[in-house]
Amino acid sequence: MSDVRRVFFVSDRTGITAEALGHSLLTQFDVVTEQATIPFIDSVEKSRGALKRIRAASARDLNRPIVFSTIIDQDVLAVLRDSKDIVLYDFFDTFIKSLESELKVPPQQIIGRSHGMADDSMYDIRIEAMNFALHHDDGATLRHYGRSDIILVGVSRSGKTPAALYLALQYGIYAANYPLTADDLVDNRFGSGLPQGLRHQKDKLFGLTIDPDRLHQIRQERRPNSRYAELRQCEYEVARAEAMFRRERVPYLDITTMSIEEIASTLIHQRGLSRRV
Q: Which residues are annotated as a binding site for ADP?
A: 154-161
Query: What are the DSSP calls for 223-276, one per residue?
Result: STT-TTT-HHHHHHHHHHHHHHHHHTT--EEE-TT--HHHHHHHHHHHHT----
Helix axes 182-189, 231-247, angle to 10 degrees: 60
Query: x/- site string to a second copy, residues 166 to 195, per CB under 8 A?
Result: x--xx-------------------------
Over its C-alpha atoms, the chain yields an Rg (Å, rounded) of: 24
- Scanning 52-60, 77-85, 141-149, 265-273 for contacts with a second copy by CB under 8 A, the matching segment is 265-273
Closer residue to a second copy, CB minimum distance, 139 or 195: 139
Q: What's the rounded Cα separation, in Å, for the pair 126 and 123? A: 5
Question: What minimum distance in Å lies between the beta carbon of 244 and a second copy?
Answer: 24
Asked if residue 118 binds a second copy (CB under 8 A), the reply is yes
- Scanning 24-32, 48-56, 225-233, 234-242 for contacts with a second copy by CB under 8 A, the matching segment is 24-32
Residues 72-111 that bind a second copy (CB under 8 A): 72, 87, 89, 91-92, 94-96, 98-100, 102-103, 105-110
CA dihedral over 246, 249, 250, 256, signed as positive or negative: positive
Question: What minimum distance in Å lies between the beta carbon of 31 and a second copy?
Answer: 5
CA dihedral over 72, 73, 75, 76, signed as positive or negative: negative
Residues 234-253 that bind a second copy (CB under 8 A): none
Asked if residue 28 binds a second copy (CB under 8 A), the reply is yes
Q: What's the rounded Cα separation, in Å, for the pair 154 and 163? A: 12
Closer residue to a second copy, CB minimum distance, 23 or 81: 23
Paired residues of 36 in beta bridges: 8
Q: How many residues bind a second copy (CB under 8 A)?
A: 77
Asked if residue 30 binds a second copy (CB under 8 A), the reply is yes
Q: What's the rounded Cα separation, in Å, for the pair 3 and 120? A: 46
Query: What are the DSSP calls for 72-100, one per residue?
Result: --HHHHHHHHT-TTSEEEETTHHHHHHHH
Closer residue to a second copy, CB minimum distance, 22 or 207: 22
Question: What minimum distance in Å lies between the beta carbon of 264 and a second copy?
Answer: 8
Q: Which of 3, 24, 84, 225 binds a second copy (CB under 8 A)?
A: 24
Question: What minimum distance in Å lies between the beta carbon of 87 and a second copy?
Answer: 5
For 144, the 3-state DSSP assignment is coil
